[in-house]
Chain A
Amino acid sequence: MKTPSSIVHPGLVLLSLVLLISGCGDRMVDGLSAPSYPQRGQVFIDDFESDLIYAAFGGSDVKAFQVDYETTYNNSRASMRYEVPDANSPQGAYAGGAYFSRAGRDLSGFNALTFYIKATQPATIDVIGFGNDFGTSSFQVALNALPVNTNWKKVVIPIPDPARLNGERGLFFYSTGPFNEKGYTFWVDDVQFEHVSDLGTCIGAMFNGEDRKVPTTEKGASIRIEGLQATADLPNGTMLTISASPSYFNFVSSDTSVATVSPQGVVQVLDSGNATITAWLGAAMARGSLELSASGTALIPTTPAPTPTLDAKNVISLYSNAYTNVPVDTWNTRWQYSTTESAFIKVGNDDVIRYYNLNFVGVEFSSSPIDATSMTHFHIDVWTPDPTPNPENVKVMLVDFGANGVYGGGDDVSHEITITAPTLQSNGWVSLDIPLASFSGLTTRAHLAQLVLSGTVSNLFVDNVYLYKTQTSPTTPAPTPAYPAGDVISVFSDAYQNVGGTNFSPNWGQSTVVSQVSIGGNATLLYTGLNYQGIELGSRQNVSSYGFLHLDYNSANATALQVFLISPGPVETAYTLPVPTGTGWRSVDIPLSAFAPVALTNVIQLKFVGNGNVYLDNILFRK
């Protein structure tokens, strides 16, 4: 072991020079040895060990923990009791805290933390472990989702590499919330570090044991190694996986001129080339690896994304130089387990968002949710330098927080769309125009609050993120018909006296939204989100002496539209109308003979079937 005198430290050298000059002589430092810590394993057997301090985590119920003298393991004197609060308890939303040693312990002679646990009901303890010292917590080990029940059971949490724990202060910690929204109580007893002789080998893992590939990274990039775990063979022959801090591992780069790894598990890319990063836990190589190929310079788009051309009044833009953008809280929420890094860069004069190390990234605008009920499409331009053959993909998810406008509450809905080749391309801008109707799980969209991007490509450039509607209301009214009034039975027109008492929105179970809008002062019938829609004439009409059904229609986004004439029975016949119409009105005069066998002496209803948004005017029978 190194003694302080053998360590070359500029500060010390300077200090001894000063001391010599001032004539105070040398300090004797040779006799000093590294501090030694007590090799005690006990944390709580029948009472606290004397060096122990408890502190509750912020936001937790600070009174959740008490010493209990009634419910104890093996009839010992005392146990530790934890009262997990109900959901939304004013005292705190969860129970959590850490026990740490004032002085530190030498735990290198033990191989596991063990304790007994029981609860008032079957439940799951979210996190329990050791190594949390309210400081750097360099050697934290956490067991996640520990199932407990009403019987005492022994829990063994292995120490991934005991040799490193020779001055550990964090001896025990826990954190857990209500189970199914309800609080409960659990007890922990006989907490100690011990050497469990029949504990099997402990194998490490990085990236949860996956071999991760980053095919395109660049000089200067940094990549954090996630998913550090240790899997131990327990005395009962089962495997237990715990999450462990980077400090337990040694990281190795196959080419340190290309990439190095810090003790905290952050890979720094130094130069172009290939390198494989592996981790070692003790004497054994951990499962999983990181294989990276770095270029000397960043692979970024050379041309900006196509400039959007849609009229701003039909667009709700989140990110585009072409529009005024609505407020977005963040373009990288850094949710747990997200490895994604982001940067705002310029391509030419165009602002572009750059995502790298992408696994998934949240974009949140929940403080100003977007009402997209009148929108029809979601647009995003994406660019990736990564290979994109199937099944490589980019995924786009929209999340609506529902009527309560906040996360949770049971009314949140979302839907994810996966984009693959041939739509997805490498090294070229891909403009995605996704009909909101394709987000079938997004059953409401009045409170859009999140966009989640994910996929298998690790580099993604994003621009022109907006919602828009294709249907623009006609700028001019439908042409006014010029038929003599005596030759017309009018259903819907400003130019004639209409059949009285007509119901334009009978409840036939349709989802179409019917409204009347004024275009240039002319009342126009609008079907929004048409599936089908009926018109019940105020009185039955004998049109047998008339020649045509006339109507004017306009739809920029319908891909199907039919009109039906109906006589009792019902007897109905469809006539197909060409759509979409483009921006202008289309007038049709349909020979009534086309509706055979409908009884023209007794027409009672009309019906439209199709999709999209449809404007109608001047629905009338003429000679």
Chain B
Amino acid sequence: MRSSLVLIAILVAGCEQQPVQTLPERTWTLTWSDEFDGAVGNSPDTSKWTFDIGTGAGGWGNAELQYYTNRQSNVQLNGDGHLVITARRESYAGSGFTSARLKTQGLFSQRYGRFEARIRTPSGPGVWPAFWMLGDSFADVSWPQCGEIDIMEQRGQQPAITHGSVHGPGYSGANAKTKSYGLMVGRFDTDFHLYAIEWSSDYIDFFVDDYLYQRIQPSDLSGEWVFNQPFFIILNIAVGGNFVGYPTTATPFPQQMIVDFVRVYTQS
């Protein structure tokens, strides 16, 4: 188990990677994880994950095109310790695409700490993979008052760029507080990368492969800081929608998001 990670000293401008980042240490204790060990074809652990099924209201508010299912063809373990979410171009229940969206809502949520996942993302125009969180108050106060933290979102037509964002009252949708991080060499869909946030009462730090590329503090926001409650985790591939645009005939399908692990820590 990892016991130590680091604190920021330098805030970095833009996407360019500095050769050395010197960050003071933070000490973490693992509180929840899924390593996705299990036989090939198995569904993910039902004590940890539940599913969103269907098309949501207005394509989950984003005019997304996919129908989410919990079928094996859309979500299963691959037997090598990975969770595989597969987005397909197929006609299903009136939609032109299928995919899966897993969440820990009602099963696990946590306020503050480190949330990380090691993921190989899919690509292709109109493909929108995400590792993100919503506040527990989602059911009561609705979005965006509940708050949203997007640890990883990508546009499949830009497979070398990832985005980290927060949404809340007064800064949601296209006006979210967001930052992009681009790879100088390579792409996110060819290898696993570690996407993480470290979150406390007055900051959220965004990391790719333990490189800090964004810190968000209450003073950075044009609205209320709504990140003082437990948040639950969501993993999904959306197809189409306002963020990513729509798939073209050239978009290769099926597309897979392969998750090695999801781990959550609290600061000791």
Report the separation of the CA atoms of residues A237 and B184 in the bound assembly, to the nearest whole angstrom.
17
| Partner among B184, B189, B251 whose Cβ is within 8 Å of the Cβ of A238 | B251
Is the Cβ of B158 less than 8 Å from the Cβ of A237?
yes
- Can you list 17 A-B pairs with a CB-CB distance of less than 8 A? A197-B160, A197-B186, A198-B183, A200-B159, A201-B190, A233-B187, A233-B189, A236-B125, A236-B158, A237-B123, A237-B124, A237-B156, A237-B158, A237-B251, A238-B124, A238-B157, A239-B250
Cβ of A235 < 8 Å from any Cβ of B?
Answer: yes
B252 on interface, CB distance cutoff 8 Å: yes
* Chain A to chain B: the 8 pairs with minimum beta-carbon distance, closest first: A198-B160, A238-B250, A237-B123, A237-B124, A237-B156, A197-B185, A237-B157, A239-B252
Contact yes or no, B187 A198, CB < 8 A: yes
Which residues of chain B are within 8 angstroms of A201 by Cβ–Cβ distance? 190
Residue of A nearest to B187 (CB): A198
Is B248 in contact with chain A by the CB < 8 A criterion?
yes
Q: How close is B97's CB to chain A, nearest CB, in angstroms?
A: 15
Q: How far is the CA of A201 from the CA of B248 in the complex (A)?
A: 20
CA distance A239 to B156 in the complex (A): 12
- Residues of the B chain whose Cβ atoms lie less than 8 Å from the Cβ of A198: 159-160, 183, 186-187
In Å, the complex CA distance between A233 and B185 comes to 15
What is the distance, in angstroms, from A201's C-beta to the closest C-beta of chain B? 6
Q: Of all chain B residues, which has the CB nearest A236?
A: B157
B152 located at the interface, meaning its Cβ lies under 8 Å from any Cβ of chain A in the complex: no
The winner among B158, B159, B184 for most chain A CB atoms within 10 A is: B159
Task: Tell me, rounded to whole Å, the shortest Cβ–Cβ distance linking A130 to chain B.
Answer: 22
In the complex, A53→B251 CA distance in Å?
Answer: 38
Residues in chain B near residue A200, CB distance under 8 A: 123, 159, 187, 189-190
Given contacts A198-B159, A200-B159, contact A238 B185 (CB under 8 A): no
Q: Are A237 and B127 in contact (CB under 8 A)?
A: yes
Chain B nearest CB: distance from A157 CB in Å? 16
Contact A237 B159 (CB under 8 A): yes
**Which A positions have Cβ atoms within 8 angstroms of B?**
197-198, 200-201, 233, 235-239
Shortest CB distance A29–B (Å): 41
Docked complex Cα distance between A233 and B191 (Å): 14
- Shortest Cβ distance from B122 into A: residue: A237
Q: Considering the complex, which residues of chain B in the window 150-189 have a beta carbon less than 8 Å from any beta carbon of chain A? A: 156-160, 183-187, 189
Per-residue CB contact flags for chain B residues 174-216 toward chain A (1 = under 8 Å, else 0) read: 0000000001111101100000000000000000000000000
Contact indicator A238/B160 (Cβ below 8 Å): no
Taking the closest CB of chain A, its distance from the CB of B248, in whole angstroms, is 7
B186 contacts A233, CB within 8 Å? no
User: What is the CA–CA distance of A235 and B125 in the complex, to the nearest angstrom?
Assistant: 10
| Also in contact, A238 and B125, with CB within 8 A (given A197-B160, A198-B159, A200-B159) | yes
Closest A residue to B126 using CB positions:
A237
Query: Chain B residue with minimal CB distance to A240?
Result: B250
Alpha-carbon separation in the docked complex, A235 to B160 (Å): 8
Q: Which residues on the A side are within 8 Å of B124 (C-beta)?
A: 237-238
- Distance of A396 from chain B, by nearest CB (Å): 35
Contacting residues, chain B, for A239 (C-beta < 8 A): 250, 252
Q: What's the minimum C-beta distance from A416 to chain B, rounded to whole angstroms?
A: 29
Question: How would you classify the secondary structure of chain A's contact residues: helix, strand, loop or mixed?
Answer: loop
**What 8 new A-B contacts, CB under 8 Å, besides A197-B160, A201-B190?**
A197-B186, A198-B187, A200-B123, A233-B190, A236-B158, A237-B158, A239-B250, A239-B252
Minimum CB–CB distance from A233 to chain B (whole Å) comes to 7
How many angstroms between the C-alpha atoms of A238 and B123 in the bound complex? 8
Nearest neighbor of A231 in chain B, beta-carbon distance: B252
Residues from chain B with a CB closer than 8 A to the CB of A233 are 123, 159, 187, 189-190, 252
B248 touching A238, Cβ below 8 Å: yes
* A235-B159 contact given A197-B186, A198-B183, A201-B190, CB 8 Å threshold: yes
CA distance A238 to B156 in the complex (A): 9
Q: In the docked arrangement, what's the CA distance between A235 and B161, Å?
A: 11
Residues of A with C-beta under 8 A to B250:
238-239
A197, A198, A200, A235: most-surrounded residue (chain B CB, <10 A): A198
Q: Which residues of A contact B156 (CB under 8 A)?
A: 237
**CB within 8 Å for A238 and B252 given contacts A197-B160, A200-B159:** yes
> Which residues from chain A contact B127 at a C-beta distance below 8 Å?
237
Produce 1/0 per residue, B43-57, CB < 8 A to A: 000000000000000
In chain B, what residue has the closest Cβ to A197?
Answer: B185
A198 to B187, CA, bound (A): 5
Bound-complex Cα distance A218 to B185 (A): 50
Docked complex Cα distance between A200 and B251 (Å) = 14
Interfacial chain A residues near B158, Cβ < 8 Å: 236-237
Cα–Cα, bound, A197→B187 (Å)? 8
Which B247-268 residues have C-beta < 8 A from chain A?
Answer: 248, 250-252
| B127, closest chain A residue (CB) | A237
CB contacts (< 8 Å) of B252 on chain A: these are 233, 238-239
CA distance A423 to B190 in the complex (A): 52
Q: Which B residues touch A238, using CB under 8 A?
A: 124-125, 157, 248, 250-252
A197, A200, A236, A239 pick with most chain B CB within 10 angstroms: A236
A201 to B158, CA, bound (A): 15
Q: Chain A residues near B189: list those with CB within 8 A.
A: 200, 233, 237
CA distance A239 to B157 in the complex (A): 11
Q: How far is the CB of A200 from chain B (nearest CB, A)?
A: 6
A148 to B158, CA, bound (A): 22
CB-based contact A237/B125 at 8 Å: yes
Shortest CB distance A226–B (Å): 24
Nearest chain B CB to A111 CB, angstrom units: 11
Give Cα A235 to B159, complex, Å.
7
CA distance A539 to B127 in the complex (A): 82
In the bound complex, what is the Cα–Cα distance between A55 and B127 (angstroms)?
44
C-alpha gap A236/B247 in the complex (Å): 12
| Bound complex: CA A615 to CA B77 (Å) | 78
> A496 CA to B57 CA in the complex, in Å?
92
Which residues of A are found within 8 Å of B190, using beta-carbon distances? 200-201, 233
| Least CB distance, B124 to chain A, in whole angstroms | 4
Q: Least Cβ distance of B231 to chain A in Å?
A: 29
The residue of chain A having its C-beta at the shortest distance from the C-beta of B250 within the complex is: A238
Bound complex: CA A503 to CA B124 (Å)? 73
What's the minimum C-beta distance from B87 to chain A, rounded to whole angstroms?
13
CB distance from A58 to the nearest CB of B (A): 35
Render B106-130 as a binary contact track against A, CB cut-off 8 A, 1 for contact.
0000000000000000011101000
Q: Which residue of B lies closest to A233 (CB)?
A: B123
Complex CA distance for A431 and B241, rounded to whole angstroms? 60
State how many angstroms separate the Cβ of A359 from the closest Cβ of chain B. Answer: 27
Question: In whole angstroms, what is the CA distance A235 to B157 when docked?
Answer: 7
Complex Cα distance, B183 from A200, in Å, reads 13
Provide the bound-state CA to CA distance between A238 and B245, in Å. 14
B207 to chain A, nearest CB (A): 21
* Interface-centre pick from A198, A201, A235, A237 (highest chain B CB count, 10 A): A237
Cα separation A238 to B187 with both chains bound (whole Å): 13
**Considering only CB atoms, which chain A residue lies closest to B123 in the complex?**
A237
Chain B 124-149 near chain A by CB (<8 Å), digits 1 or 0: 11010000000000000000000000
CB neighbours of B157 from chain A (8 A): 236-238
- For A237, list chain B residues within 8 Å (CB): 123-125, 127, 156-159, 189, 251
| Complex alpha-carbon distance, A236 and B155, angstroms | 10
Interchain CA distance A239-B247 in the complex, whole Å:
13
Shortest distance in angstroms between A231's beta carbon and chain B's nearest beta carbon?
Answer: 9
- Interface residues as binary, B82-99 with A (CB distance below 8 Å gives 1, 0 otherwise): 000000000000000000
Docked pose: A198 CA to B248 CA in angstroms = 20
Give A114 Cβ to nearest chain B Cβ, in Å.
16
A238 to B184, CA, bound (A): 20
Give CA–CA (A200, B123) in the complex, Å: 10
Give complex CA distance A370, B186 in Å: 62
CB distance from A429 to the nearest CB of B (A): 47
Cα distance A269–B33 in the bound complex, in angstroms: 56
